[in-house]
Chain A
Amino acid sequence: MNKNDLTLEELLIAAKKSKDFTRIERSINGTKIYLSYFNTLVDHEIIQKSLLPYLNSPFLKNIDDISDKLPIEDITFTEDVNEIYLKLYKGHVILQNEHSPNECILLNIHNATLGLRQNNDAENEFSVIGPKVGFVEDLDTNLNLLRRKVNSQKLIIEEMIIGNMSKTRVAIVYLDGITNEQHINTVRERLKNLNFDIIWDTSVLEQIIRDHKHTPFPLLLSTERIDRIVYTLVNGQVTIFSDGSPNAISGPATLLDFFISPEDYYLNWVLGSFFRVIRILGILFSVFSSSIYVAVLTFHYEVIPKDLLGPLIESRANVPFPPVLEVLFLETTIELLREAGARLPTKVGQTLGIVGGIVIGQAAVAAALTSNVLLIIVSLSALASFTTPIIVMGNTIRILRFFFIVFSAFLGGFGIIIGIMFLLGHLFRLKSLGSPYIVPLYPFRRNSLADSFIRSPLSTLNKRAPYLRPKQLMKFYVKEMRIHKGDLNDEE
């Protein structure tokens, strides 16, 4: 934290400039005491019911009795001006007596939940099956939600204050004895060394502490779902919460983590694996479909079989533009729709979505701006990009699409493969909190493949991912496998 060399006097004078600063005078047994606080930050009910009546009561003989007699939980004695400064602005009441004004008693009467929502349906990362409660803006609520799921002495919560203006509480959460020290230390060091004014959201923290600045890929997993965070913790990852943000971030993350939905684990493994494969295929389709369209129609129409070529040419017959312009036009339209959809008020949003999607699409074909086939391809790939369980990754996928379209417009199929090489080369370089980003694909880890493209039965997922170097490899031991092996084996 930045040290300011204010004395207590100066601090109070500076605070007095604001209208909401309050200083009142009371006396206990003839000794004058002063109460100073910001009335916009404190809980008035507590002040009126639990603080002021007690100050006048006969029980209180001495000022030192306060900590015993007052029905307030968080009471500290201090002379440290920095601490006083910090706590005054976090809703504490400063209590001074006239004889020794530098010895302050700080009473925590912060109205922490004023103006914050109390609960949150995980709307951005929805799942049909499974719990639907998400994190909220209040840090303590979030940690409470977390503690409810993980009832263990291993769950450790560390706190720091970050941001020279916002003084935001940031919590580092991990499982002691499971998470590798190295990851925890990396997070601690990076948070300690960062300089920033206001921590708006954990996504800001993610951008500041990430390993590489110049990449479209999210390097730490950001989520509002409780089950997801618990899953990362149990696997031996480190989680960061920040006050005022309904998202927690977890690391070290890998590329595949972003394509895994908690719902995969709530369905049985056959269905879970199937949907996961569908999702990954959809994402590949989303990245490559429009660039393949450009490459094929610009350079290699020979690769299309005769019977398919006719309808394709026919649908494009009236379009006056080269394929790349056609694709860029339609892709930009879709991006526009998405962006508008995200910004519009919910009530208008749905109507406009229908107008945008159906009317504009049909009109564009009728006006010969695009072909029918391309309309299908682009809208399907837009749809597919939304199957990513983590929204940020969906954005990355859409950016990649433009990257490949540009490459294929210049060099056709060769351009696409060159683009893939650049992408692979980029992914091989990326690191998340110092661990490789595309593990288990490279460095190749065979035993981590059980929970990657497919989701194996839960009883086989009893090991933590070795690439996270957990201090305890086994999550649980499978005592007996109650698997029905078929009637032939039943002797009795």
Chain B
Amino acid sequence: MKTTIKEQYLVSTFFTFFLVHSSQTGLALLGFQDNISKNAQQDAWVSVILTGIVIHFILWLIYKILDEKHPDLMAIHHYCYGKVIGNCLSFFVLLYFLLQSLTVFWGYIEIIQVWVYPTLKTWQLGIVLGILIYYLVSGGFRLLTGFSFWGVVLPSFLLILIYFPIKYAKTTITLLPILNHSIGDILLSAKASTLLFLGFEWILIYYPFIKDANKSQKWAQFGTLYSTILYLIITLISFIFYNQEALQHTPWPTLKMVKIVHFPFVERFEYIFIFIWLLVIISPLCISIWACTRITRRLTRIPPKISLFVFLIMIVTATTSTKDFRSVEKISTITSEIGFYFIYTYIPLLFLIKHIKMKRNKSF
């Protein structure tokens, strides 16, 4: 198996910031507040910070796992478990990534249908989005990095919109009392906010595509830090804007907040917001599917274009197969559950196994 990538396909080290950050932001940002405040209520912002800190640690673990000899997950699996079991595990990771991309794909189409085009059919949107993703992913990892860069820079002007909810929220009393919840509640909320940060684990796949990858940890950590700060701001603002009772009955709190934005020349700003949000989600969506094709390529001899086509067909058909809106929520819950155990259990485990193996090899 060849693991070294040609120089011309590598991306600069500092793009790791944008890759990690853009993989973390996504669809979840539009409506996570109701989930995370279920247990810890107004104290859930503590949970966001807590999760952020743990994610920093997990990222550090990932950088410990990866090294020059074993620059990606498939190589690590081979090293730790041997060829057969390693490949099986890699295949399971592929399924998990595929599930992640399905969640985003499906979730975005649902938002488009609920908010903007109630009459448009799922398959129409699915096919258009599918063709777009095929076009972008077939351009290779460098192109996707470009999207992750511009997907962070361009939509950052949306942050100005924070002004509007602050203008309407006259009081900060909804944040009080501070820290009157048990640690258990806060941890449960922290678990719920893990979904926000999922996506950074794709670095296990694209690590060899980064120039001087071992020096990129700084940027990756900064990316995570920026995500944490961003989520913290949005959490605090939505806690100021809504009271806890209302928050529990609001499906997409962020979008609802955008609804109050209006300018003399434009109303219903959430339409524009949702459209621009495609810029934000397209890079995590494409990178997750790209990661699937990359794993396939490393495990089998199937050319990426074919596997990409097959994955997209699978995603589009899965999206169009059911008309039940609940199924998006179900699949998102399953994904975040799997993701939760993947990063908090499997990655530390992998770290341990690899280090035990390294030590044993050294002692011989």
Whether A444 and B143, one on each chain, are in contact in the complex, defined by CB atoms closer than 8 angstroms, is no
Q: How far is the CA of A411 from the CA of B278 in the complex (A)?
A: 14
User: Which one, B24-32, B216-224, B244-252, B258-266, is touching chain A?
Assistant: B258-266
Cβ contact of A414, chosen from B150, B267, B275, cutoff 8 A: B275
Q: Kindly provide the distance from the CB of B328 to the nearest chain A CB, expressed in whole angstroms.
A: 18
Interface 0/1 of A36-74, CB less than 8 Å to B: 000000000000000000000000000000000000000
Contact among B136, B142, B150, B271 for A300, CB-based, below 8 A: B271
A443 on interface, CB distance cutoff 8 Å: yes
Neighbour of B268 across the interface among A303, A417, A441, CB < 8 A = A303
Q: Contact: B271 with A303, CB < 8 Å?
A: yes
Q: Provide the B135-165 mask, 1 if CB < 8 A to any CB of A, else 0.
A: 1100100110011011000000000000000
Contacts of B3 in A (CB 8 A): none
Known: A424-B150, A442-B149. A305 touches B135 (CB 8 A): no
Rounded to whole angstroms, the CA-CA distance of A300 and B273 in the bound complex is 13
Is A192 part of the binding interface, using a Cβ–Cβ cutoff of 8 Å?
Answer: no
Residues of B with C-beta under 8 A to A443: 12, 146
Residues of B within 8 A of A442 (CB): 146, 149-150
Contact with B along A284-295 (1 / 0, CB 8 A): 000000000000
Q: A206-237: which residues lie under 8 A (CB-CB) from chain B?
A: none
Task: Pick from B12, B116, B143: contact of A428, CB below 8 A.
Answer: B143
How distant is A252 from chain B, measured CB to nearest CB, in Å? 15
Cα–Cα distance between A390 and B120 once the two chains are bound (Å) = 41
A422 to B272, CA, bound (A): 18
Interface magnitude class on chain B: 20 to 34
B147 touches A417 (CB 8 A): no
Give the contacts of A300-341 with B (CB-CB under 8 A): 300, 302-306, 308
Q: Does B346 contact A (CB under 8 A)?
A: no
B279 touching A429 by the CB < 8 A rule?
A: no
Please give, as numbers and ranges, the residues of chain A lying within 8 Å of B269 by CB-CB distance: 303
A420 nearest in chain B by CB position: B279
Contact across chains for A416 and B268 when beta carbons are under 8 A apart: no
Closest residue to B18 on the A side, CB-wise?
A444
Name the contact of B267 in the complex, choosing from A305, A429, A441 (C-beta under 8 A).
A305
Residue B347 is within 8 A (CB to CB) of chain A in the complex: no
**CB of A421 within 8 Å of the partner chain:** yes
- For chain A, what secondary structure do more than half of its interface residues adopt (helix, strand, loop), or is it mixed? helix
CB under 8 Å from chain A, chain B span 112-137: 112, 116-117, 120, 125, 128-129, 132, 135-136
Task: Tell whether A282 is near chain B: CB-to-CB under 8 Å.
Answer: no
Of the candidates A412, A416, A425, which one forms a contact with B139 in the assembled complex, judged by CB atoms under 8 Å apart?
A: A425
Alpha-carbon gap, A416 to B143, bound state (A): 20
Of residues 406 to 428 in A, which have CB atoms within 8 Å of B's CB atoms?
411-414, 416-418, 421-422, 424-425, 428
Question: What is the minimal beta-carbon distance from A90 to any residue of chain B, in angstroms?
Answer: 42
Contact A444 B149 (CB under 8 A): yes
B273 to chain A, nearest CB (A): 11
Q: Whose C-beta in chain A lies nearest to the C-beta of B120?
A: A411
Verify B265–A421 contact, CB threshold 8 A: no
- Contact mask for chain A residues 425-438; partner B; CB cutoff 8 A; 1 contact, 0 none: 10011000000000
Closest residue of chain A to B144 (Cβ to Cβ) is A428
- Closest CB-CB distance, B149 to chain A, in whole Å? 6
How near does chain A come to B6, taking the closest CB pair, in angstroms?
Answer: 15
User: Does B282 sit within 8 A of A, measured CB to CB?
Assistant: yes
Q: A303-B272, A413-B275, A428-B143 are in contact. Are A421 and B149 (CB under 8 A)?
A: no
Q: Among A305, A306, A418, A444, which residue has its beta carbon within 8 angstroms of that of B132?
A: A418
Q: Is B276 an interface residue (CB 8 A)?
A: yes
A428 pairs with B272, CB closer than 8 A: no
Query: Do the beta carbons of A417 and B135 come within 8 Å of each other?
Result: no
Cα A428 to Cα B279 in complex, Å, equals 15
Say whether A429 contacts B150, CB under 8 Å.
no
B82 to chain A, nearest CB (A): 39
**Within the complex, which residue of A304, A411, A414, A425 is in contact with B135, where a contact is CB–CB below 8 Å?**
A425
Chain A residues within 8 Å of B128, by CB:
411, 418
A-B interface, 4 closest residue pairs, ranked by CB to CB distance from nearest:
A442-B146, A417-B275, A428-B143, A428-B146
Known: A305-B267, A425-B147, A428-B139. 19 other contacts (CB 8 A): A302-B268, A303-B267, A303-B269, A304-B266, A308-B265, A412-B117, A413-B116, A413-B271, A413-B275, A414-B112, A414-B125, A414-B278, A421-B136, A421-B278, A421-B279, A425-B132, A428-B143, A429-B143, A442-B149
* Chain A contact residues, CB within 8 Å of chain B: 299-300, 302-306, 308, 411-414, 416-418, 421-422, 424-425, 428-429, 441-444
13 examples of A-B residue contacts, CB within 8 angstroms: A300-B268, A302-B271, A412-B116, A413-B271, A413-B272, A414-B278, A421-B136, A424-B150, A425-B132, A425-B143, A428-B142, A429-B139, A442-B149
